[in-house]
Amino acid sequence: MSVQSLLSYALTVPELKAGQKFYATFGLAPGERDGVLAFRCDGRDQDQVFLVEGKKKRLNHLRFGSDDQGIATIRGRMRKRGITEIDAPHNAFGGGLWLEDPDGHAINVRPESAQPWRSAPAFAINSPGHYERNGRRGAPKRHEARPHRLGHVLLHTPRLDQMVAFYTETLGMKVTDRVPGIISFLHLPGGGDHHVVALLADARSGFHHASFEVASPDEIGLGAHQVLSAGYKNGWGFGRHVLGSNFFHYLRDPWNSLAEYFCDIDQIPADGSWQAEDHPPEDSLYLWGPQPGDFALNFEEA
């Protein structure tokens, strides 16, 4: 099965304090590990975001979890494809297997499992003929949004086909859906979220966004409110995607990449029955929501 979970991502950024302020405002709990900043989601004893200081913002690495057999399988595929192991990009990130994808992003696969998401309150909503919330007020009390887990990342790539081949043939992921020549969505071989990695065709490589799950559309709205009220720029939202079906709102970080709140994403069964399909370009963005504006642009410096 190879990779079994998306554990975390790390960014190199030019100003750590700016990144610490943004992610704390977004609702993640900051900490420090061996000279780098680390952030955790609510109720999770596991780092899911790292920030390393550098000259300009870029993806430092992606970290996946597997078991010993999965890592051995990946090593075997690497040998067949002539892919060599590399060193960890920072001494804080040692351990596991390190390799590069076709765009030169460092990838770490380590013997670690993603922690399960804690239980969340049911989202009760009155709909025509189905008045579930009978005799109760519906608006939640105002509170800070606290994401519970990292869901997925999206990368710009000038090598869409080669990147899809690497993540599927070397790491063992599977294609969920695609808009040919534009974007591909990849899920874990054991099922789960509609995608944990998405790849968007572009003239240059780059980190586009990371997405974090919250409990309901209300929490998406509350989170967007707290980030925008702190003076950060809006990205895109509130809306709902076609591919993945999730509700979304994206906010821009200090370097013009994006952090997304999401909920209600399609789930892939573990039995391999999901069939990847090609979709028209109009399905690549949204079912409804505001105009996307500059959402798909790559702001990463060359």
Report the candidate in 226, 230, 234 with the shortest Cα–Cα distance to residue 251: 234
Of 38, 25, 20, nearest to 232 by C-alpha is: 25
Dist. CA 6–CA 170, nearest whole Å: 15
Q: Whole-model pTM above 0.85? A: yes
Residue 117: pLDDT over 90? no
pLDDT in tens, 215-242: 999 999 999 999 999 999 999 999 999 9
Are 206 and 300 in contact, with CB atoms under 8 Å apart? Answer: yes
What is the Cα–Cα distance from 249 to 223, expressed in whole angstroms? Answer: 9
Between 108 and 137, residue with greater pLDDT: 108
CATH fold for domain 5-115+146-283: 2,3-Dihydroxybiphenyl 1,2-Dioxygenase; domain 1 (3.10.180)
Query: CB 196: neighbour CB atoms within 10 A?
Result: 24
- Residue 118 confidence (pLDDT) above 80: no
- The one-letter amino acid code at 174 reads K
Q: Is the confidence at residue 1, as pLDDT, over 80?
A: no
Distance CA 10, CA 48 (A): 8
The mean pLDDT value of the chain amounts to 95
- What per-residue confidence (pLDDT) applies to 48? 97
**pLDDT per residue as tens digits for the range 119-150:** 777 788 888 998 888 888 888 888 889 999 99
Chain centroid to Cα 126, Å, comes to: 31
The Cα–Cα gap between 58 and 14 comes to 10
| pLDDT tens digit sequence for 49-103 | 999 999 999 999 999 999 999 999 999 999 999 999 999 999 999 999 999 999 9
Q: Domain limits of the chain?
A: 5-115+146-283
